[in-house]
Amino acid sequence: MLEAIILTIITAATPLLLAATGELVVEKSGVLNLGVEGMMVMGAVAGFAVTISTGSPLLGIVGGAVAGMLVSLIFAFVTLTLVANQVASGLALTLFGLGLSGLMGESFVGQPGLKLQSLDVPGLTDLPFVGKILFGQDILVYLSFAAVFGVSWFLNRTRAGLILRAVGDNHTSAHALGYSVVGVRYLAVAFGGAMAGLGGAYLSVAYTPLWVENMTAGRGWIALALVVFASWIPWRAAVGAYLFGAVTVLQFHAQAFGVGFPSQFLAMLPYLATVVVLVAISGNRRATLFNTPSSLGKSFVPDR
Amino acid sequence: MGEGTGDSTGEMLRRVGGDTPLLEVRHVTKRFGNFTANDGVCLKIMPGEIHALLGENGAGKSTLVKIIYGSLQPSSGGIFWKGRPVTVGSPAEARALGVGMVFQHFSLFDAMTVAENIALALPNCRATGELAETIARVSSNYGLPLDPDAHIADLSVGERQRVEIVRCLLQNPELIIMDEPTSVLTPQEADQLFVTLRRLAAEGCAILYISHRLEEVRALCHHATIMRRAKVVAEADPAKETVNTLAQLMVGNEITRVTREKGKLGPEAILLKGLTQVSQDAFGVSLQDINLSVRAGEIVAIAGIAGNGQKELFDALSGEEPLEKEDMVIFAGEAAGLMDINERRLLGAAFVPEERLGHGAVPALKLSENVVLTRHGTGEGIARRGFTRFGKAGRIVETVTSLFDVRKGVLDPEARSLSGGNLQKFVVGREVERTPKILIVAQPTWGVDAGAAAVIRQSLIDLSRKGAAILVISQDLDEIFEIADRIAVISRGYLSRAEDADTLTTEKVGLLMAGGAEKKGAAAA
Amino acid sequence: MMRLELVKRSEKSRLMSVLSPVVAVALTVVFAGIVFAAQGHNPLTGIWYFFLEPITSLWGVEQLITKATPLVIIALGLSVCYLSNNWNIGAEGQLTIGAIVGSIPPILFPDFVNPVVLPLMLLMAMAGGALYALIPAKLKTVFGTNEILTSLMLVYCSNLFLDWMVRGPWRSPQGYNFPITIDFHEWAVLNAVDVGGIYLNLSAPIALLLVIVLAVVMRSTLKGFEIRVLGQSPRAGSFAGFSTRRMTAFAFALSGALAGLAGMMVVMSEIGKLQPVISPGYGFTAIIVAFLGRLNPIGILIAGLVIASSYLGGEAIQTSLQMSSKLATVIQGVLLFFVLAADTLILYKVRLVTGREGESAHA
């Protein structure tokens, strides 16, 4: 029973973690991309399409990442090259992604997909209790953890990460030192797009191998909230993703056990939890001051 | 001296350094659309030379410096490094050549440590322990001690400049460009900087020193190139010039000095009693028991280095930041401490903040709309029953424009399209035109050309002599001594007692700025 | 290497202010044509069916006005939010809660049949929407919580709440177990009247009136000035004596009230009762309308009609060309991108630069 619950928490948390880790890097570079939901849902539909047309869920995942990256580049062009308002452009990206995925996915509705297999390690996976949890997951689960460690290492230990943080902290200074603010941000947005695409592909290829319209159901927005929750620190995003995964799963189990409580109110839990957490986090502004990218959401035009 | 003395200057340079200039700029022209920022500019810097680049705001100094540092590309002309033609495509290429730069507005990253900031300017470098050791060593070597692990946000302005300089030194530059380095320093800190610079020059490093403080240029620099309206108009040996002759070369004609006669003093119009306020901002300064009185007909100036509570004091006086007790601020006899900014304006007070764009004026709004901004609540009928009357505001724009000679292209332009000097004349003129009884003005001529500065300063003096009480918050000691009747100094939120300007010297004020003002009830004497 | 370079204009370009939405719409039509061609249709036929055919009949115009009305009303409120830098994207939720609160009289007091019920419902809906919108506003001003995320999360909550209401406490006993409430009585619905062959109810003239009122407020009142100043520069706003906190509450309450009003009028004119879904995403589409209308009341009126026609166009190409009506959503998204991109031309000149020669030669 507990094992089953932990397994479902992992599947609920993984897409959130993938998308949040990507968005964290984007925001660290000073860009606020509110289009995570749109990029995720594009990743979901592309992942499903590539999977059933090639018969390979692995290729499907790659397809999801590519789709997420491609739509993120539209956002990058509009906000970085043409310096349009990032908030409005992010909303446009979400609307565009939801529409285009619905259009592309129309023929897939009701079709069975292929499920991404878990990486079973003979012997280890059969260990009691921990076996399945630690060694019986699919590649995206491991990838989501690798991404957390990778991003953490990148931001704090590499020169490229230092430059990315510098661009997010003060783009005018970074430009004065000769760094390409727009170039760095393009790369960050593309990475964020790919990660959101992966998170979306996880839903349609690993979580439930199906295509349902708007199947991300607000997860992109929760991923955005997680970045704030994490105060731009990668490991905290992982903690947050698993907390939210747990809340979601709790709601399902409570419904299954027929807790004398309307199911709608239980379904509200993840969203209400997001609001509560956001409030709790924003109460402590001093502590997050050094991690918040000061240039977040501000357009940059070098003077010539 | 003066114009067209290139040959004799060249002779002198050859005596100072070797034959080949370290850096030579030949006939560089830079155009932005129809605007020419540099017009056939030539400049030679010899090794080990401290070379002053003089000129008013807008003369083209910054553009030239950006071209040398690779941030901008010239439209025509070339740059020669040790006699060879080079293309400086980016700041990174400039650094690779051996050109370092200390920016006027620091290019530092607040949320990062000193070591990280320095690593960002060095090629392929990370903020490791090794770098931290180097920073500690080099910085103490040159008398600029630094903690590599400190966050920039926690450092004072002077310490931040040290970071910039050490960052520059670690690149082993042969030429260091310094843009207005002393504008943020106390006189004593500036003297310390000069020691470091002279030592660097003695070691063979050339320094391109940009400043409009002619006194220090005379004391420090070996050679001066003077720019006016995008062109080099003269070269000179500053030691052989006087401040007046240098200023004349910069401005082109005799500068109009402000005239000041003692005014007739009226009753106390501004009275601060134990003004105390804890800052809500993590990096703000708390105001500590500030007492001051300004009488009608006089100008009192508050000197101090940026970031010592000036912003907080201004907000407390204007009412943008609410106070605890109503008698902490008394305007014209009325306790105004709990009033908002418009209630204070109704008492006859007017305010000019330090930041022109974004505080004193909304960049994308027209001038007439910016008149409504500060005068809708002054009972002049600019707003009535909730409706605004932009026509009336437009007529005020016209009056201010002609009184203060505000140069604008169209009848009612957006605030952001005005040059700094013209916008400042507008922002000051907008309040002065009301003939307020009380005027609180921060940095009245910051970054403004000499002509506009003279107009603004004269208007403040004239207003006070008509019976207004004026409080000027400024970092510019020249300005303060030019217009103030009495001077107080703010340091870390403490205010020294205001002393008669005639009994004070720059040195005494400097000591107070460096912390002397913090002693309870400190006076300049 | 080729790239775009932006050069800041010293003043807003008046020409481009007018031209940029036109450019955006033109580019969107071209985009739609390409999509039609890619799907094997004559692009001109597709454009005709999508953009024009729906408004060639009186019935089409009636549909257009019906669809545009809630979009315009909600977008008016959102424009005040966005102009004052308050990012309310939860209008859909405020619409839902407004409609629920406004439905209290006919559902809980079905015997109170009186002309007073109609204005009462509208006022209650506005109050409900405003109060719901004040939640993210207060969280923003008191705790500094990001209002984008909170206002959106509350949309999900409000939709689930409506779902519970119509399946639980408010389910009609005569509804054969369908998740619907009882039908509203005669004074709780908006009846359409014949206006020159088009049947319209009270909501369209209310929308028009709101457009005019807001246009006057924005152009010549101190409140409108306050909205613009605080949105562009909060620091200058406080220097003028305006309060950012009060403005946040005002903008959210106003947009919540208008969303609630729009939602109530949709229910009162088109549905006549409550059911699990009462809005086809009006609250989200209104965001596009607000931006397409450049946050200007008159612009929003035009934009509302344009977007409404794209809904009808989606239905038209579905019946005429057997294409998916989802294309309408895609085209709306693309249109918003084009509008945002074209707005760059108002503040900047754009030029294409090739390599470094270009940069040094662009004198």
Instruction: Give the pLDDT confidence of C256-313 residue by residue, as tens digits.
Output: 999 999 999 999 998 989 999 999 889 988 988 998 888 999 999 999 998 898 888 8
* A294 assigned to some structural domain: no
Q: How confident is the model at residue B7 (pLDDT cuts 50, 70, 90)?
A: very low
Residue C361 contacts B, CB cutoff 8 Å? yes
Q: Is B220 on the interface with A (CB under 8 A)?
A: no
Rounded Cα gap, residues B450 and C115, in angstroms: 73
Give the whole-angstrom CA distance, residue C214 versus residue C227: 12
CA distance C277 to C273: 11
Contact C275, C166 (CB under 8 A): yes
* pLDDT band of C191, cuts 50, 70, 90: confident
**Chosen from C158, C329, C348 to mutate, greatest number of chain A CBs within 10 A:** C329
Buried-state track B263-282, b at ≥16 Cβ within 10 A, e below 16:
beeeeebbbbbebebeeeee
CATH number of domain containing A194: 1.10.3470
Q: What are phi and psi of B196, to 5 degrees?
A: -60, -45
Q: What is the mean pLDDT of residues B93-118?
A: 86
Does B186 have pLDDT greater than 80? Answer: no
pTM of the model: 0.82
| Confidence (pLDDT) at B258 | 63
Contacts of A278 in chain C (CB under 8 A): 139, 145-146, 149-150
What is the rounded distance in angstroms from the CA atom of residue B112 to the CA atom of residue B106? 14
How many angstroms separate the CA atoms of A249 and B148, rounded?
Answer: 47
SS3 per-residue string spanning C256-302: HHHHHHHHHHHHHHHHCCCCCCCCCCHHHHHHHHHHHCCCCHHHHHH
Q: Largest Cα–Cα distance in chain A?
A: 66
pLDDT at B369 over 80: yes
| CA distance readout (Å), C137 to A12, C148, C248 | 30, 10, 6
The pLDDT score that the predictor gives to residue B14 is 40
Amino acid at A50: V
C339: tokens are 């509008």
For residue A298, being part of any structural domain is answered with no
> What pLDDT was estimated at residue C40?
84
CB atoms within 10 A of CB B9: 18
Task: Please give the residue range of the domain that contains residue A237.
Answer: 2-288
Contacts of B365 in chain C (CB under 8 A): 228-229, 232
> What is the C-alpha separation between C211 and B264, in angstroms, rounded?
57
Q: Average pLDDT in the C30-39 region?
A: 88
Residue A300 is predicted with a pLDDT of 81
Rounded mean pLDDT of B259-272? Answer: 82
Residue A92: CB partners within 8 Å, gap ≥ 6?
A35, A75, A78, C288, C333, C336, C337, C340
Find the helix or strand (DSSP H, E) in which C348 lies. Answer: strand C348-354
Q: What is the mean pLDDT of residues B119-144?
A: 82
A296 domain residue, yes or no: no
Higher-confidence position of B253 and B67 = B67
Is the CB of residue B151 less than 8 Å away from at least one CB of chain A? Answer: yes
Contacts of C287 in chain A (CB under 8 A): 91, 95
The span from the first CA to the last CA of chain C, in angstroms, equals 19
Rounded to the nearest integer, the mean pLDDT of chain B is 84
User: In B, which residues are within 8 Å of A160 by CB distance?
Assistant: none
Q: Are strands B99-102 and B268-277 parallel, antiparallel or unpaired?
A: unpaired
Measured distance CA(B279)–CA(C182) in Å, rounded = 58
Residue B91: which of A166, A177, A294 has the nearest Cβ? A177
The pLDDT tens digits along chain A (304 residues) read 788 888 889 999 999 999 999 999 999 999 999 999 999 999 999 999 999 999 999 999 999 999 999 999 999 999 999 888 888 899 889 989 998 998 888 888 888 888 888 877 777 777 777 777 777 788 899 999 999 999 999 999 999 999 999 999 999 889 888 889 999 999 999 999 999 999 999 999 998 889 998 899 889 988 988 888 788 899 989 998 998 888 888 877 777 776 667 878 888 887 888 888 888 877 665 555 666 777 877 788 776 5
Q: Is C98 helix (H, G, I), strand (E, B) or coil?
A: helix
What does the pLDDT read at residue C21? 82
What value of ipTM does the predicted structure carry?
0.84
Residues in chain A: 304
Please choose, from the candidates B32, B108, B33, B29, the residue with its C-alpha nearest in 3D space to the C-alpha of residue B67. B29
Split at pLDDT 50, 70, 90, the class of C105 is very high
Mean pLDDT in residue range C171-183: 86
Contact by Cβ (8 Å): B59, B227: yes
Residue B104 has pLDDT above 90, yes or no: no
DSSP B84-116: EEE---SHHHHHHHTEEEE-SS----TTSBHHH
CB A294 within 8 A of CB A169: yes
Phi first, then psi: give them for residue B329, nearest 5 degrees: -125, 125
Instruction: Please tell me the distance from the alpha carbon of residue C324 to that of residue C109, in angstroms, as a whole number.
Output: 43
Sequence-separated (6 or more) residues with CB below 8 Å from residue B106: A173, B160, B161, B163, B164
The residue behind tokens 């070691």 is B203
| CB pair distance less than 8 Å for B151 and A177 | no
Q: What is the pLDDT of residues C197-246, one digit of tens each?
A: 888 888 999 999 999 999 999 998 999 999 999 998 889 999 999 999 99
- The fraction of chain B above a pLDDT of 70, given in percent, is 91
- What residues form DSSP beta bridges with A204? none
Q: How far apart are CA B466 and CA B297, in angstroms?
A: 7
Q: Which residues of B touch A293 (CB under 8 A)?
A: 111
Give the residue with greater pLDDT, B233 vs A304: B233
What one-letter code names the amino acid at A81?
T
Which secondary structure element, helix H or strand E, spans residue B438, and what is its range? strand B438-442
Determine the 3-state secondary structure of B411 from DSSP: coil
Q: Which residue has the tokens 């294309």?
A: C327
3-class DSSP state for residue C135?
A: helix
Q: Which chains touch A (3 or more CB pairs under 8 A)?
A: B, C
Domains of chain B, CATH where assigned: 1-98+173-255 (3.40.50.300), 104-172 (no CATH), 256-348+438-525 (3.40.50.300), 360-435 (no CATH)
Which residues are paired to B473 by β-bridges?
A: B302, B442
Q: What's the mean pLDDT in C171-194?
A: 86
| Dihedral pair phi/psi, residue A29, rounded to 5° | -85, 0
- The pLDDT value given to residue A76: 96
Compute φ and ψ for B495, nearest 5 degrees.
Answer: -115, 130
pLDDT surpasses 70 at C340: yes
Query: Does B523 have pLDDT greater than 50?
Result: no
Chain C, residues 1-30, CB within 8 A of chain B, namely 7, 10-12
Do C12 and C347 form a contact (C-beta atoms < 8 A)?
yes
Q: How far apart are CA B448 and CA B362, in angstroms?
A: 19
CA distance B492 to C172: 70
Q: Which of C222, C235, C359 sits opposite B376 (nearest CB)?
A: C222
Minimal Cβ distance to B414: which of C11, C222, C229: C11
Q: State chain C's mean pLDDT as an integer.
A: 88
- CB neighbour class for C194 (10 Å; exposed up to 12, middle 13-18, buried from 19): exposed
Q: What is the pLDDT of residue A73?
A: 96
Tell me, yes or no, whether A208 lies in a domain.
yes
Quote the pLDDT of residue A192. Answer: 97
**Contact between A252 and A242 (Cβ < 8 Å):** no
- Residue B332 pLDDT more than 80? yes
Higher pLDDT, A288 or B386: B386
In this predicted model, what pLDDT tens digit does every residue of C55-92 receive, in sequence order? 888 888 888 999 999 999 999 999 999 999 899 989 99
3-state SS assignment for residue B514 = coil
- What CA–CA distance (Å, rounded) separates B167 from B159? 12
Between CA C173 and CA C180 the distance in angstroms is 9
Q: How far apart are CA B18 and CA A117, in angstroms?
A: 74
- The C-alpha torsion from B174 through B179 and B183 to B186, rounded to 10°, is -10
Instruction: Give me A107's structure tokens.
Output: 């023929």
Assigned domain for A303 exists: no
Judge contact between C125 and A250, C-beta under 8 A.
no
CB–CB contact B109 A172 (8 Å):
no
Residues 6+ positions from C180 with CB-CB distance below 8 Å: C166, C171, C172, C273, C274, C275
Contacts of C241 in chain B (CB under 8 A): 340-342, 345, 377
Q: Would you say residue C8 has pLDDT above 90?
A: no
Q: Which residue stretches of chain A are H helix?
A: 2-28, 36-54, 57-76, 86-105, 130-135, 139-157, 159-169, 171-176, 181-201, 219-229, 234-256, 263-282, 285-288
- The pLDDT assigned to C362 comes to 35
State both tokens at A61.
């995942």
Question: Could you give the number of structural domains in chain A?
Answer: 1
A52-56, B392-396, B398-402, C355-359: least confident range: C355-359
- Could you count the other beta carbons within 10 Å of the beta carbon of residue A114? 15
- So what's the pLDDT on residue B282? 63
